[in-house]
Amino acid sequence: MADPLAAIQALFEKYAAAQSAMDIQTLGSLHWQDDDFTHVWSPGRIDRGWEAYARRLKEEFQRLREPVFRFDDLKAVVFEDRFAAVTARWRCAYGTGDDPRRVIEGSVTFTVTKMESTWQIVADHYAVS
């Protein structure tokens, strides 16, 4: 059996690279493609369903210039080799139009589930520091 922690680490390395590349297709491959997927953003916004979240990401990516996204202090706790709770610090540096680089950061919690042979993000909650 493959090491679930290594697989989850790889998932979030791909996630960070896809956020930095503004790659919706790769991000979609890492998320549960279902109406029950839930994304929570700290100001109170909730996107229900992958399609709703993908639309929001596309809107955000249109206004960003050269984002650099990363996770720090990523920790996963795996249950029954099928479910995991993942916590991390996140940071995104970016530009908008003629504005200088800005930084937004905070903490995040992910719920991930092994579906067939791959781990998928089924919910996340981002908080801004």
pLDDT digits (tens, 9 = 90+) for 29-86: 999 999 999 999 987 889 999 999 999 999 989 988 889 999 999 999 999 999 999 9
User: What CATH number is given to the structural domain containing 69?
Assistant: 3.10.450.50
Strand partners for 123: 38, 111
> DSSP secondary structure string, 30-86?
HB--STT-EEEETTTEEEESHHHHHHHHHHHHHH-EEEEEEEEEEEEEEETTTEEEE
Q: How many distinct structural domains can be found in the chain?
A: 1
Region for residue 36 given its phi and psi (left: phi exceeds 0; alpha: psi -120 to 50; beta: otherwise): alpha
Q: What is the pTM (predicted TM-score) of this model?
A: 0.92
Question: 113 lies in which domain range?
Answer: 4-128
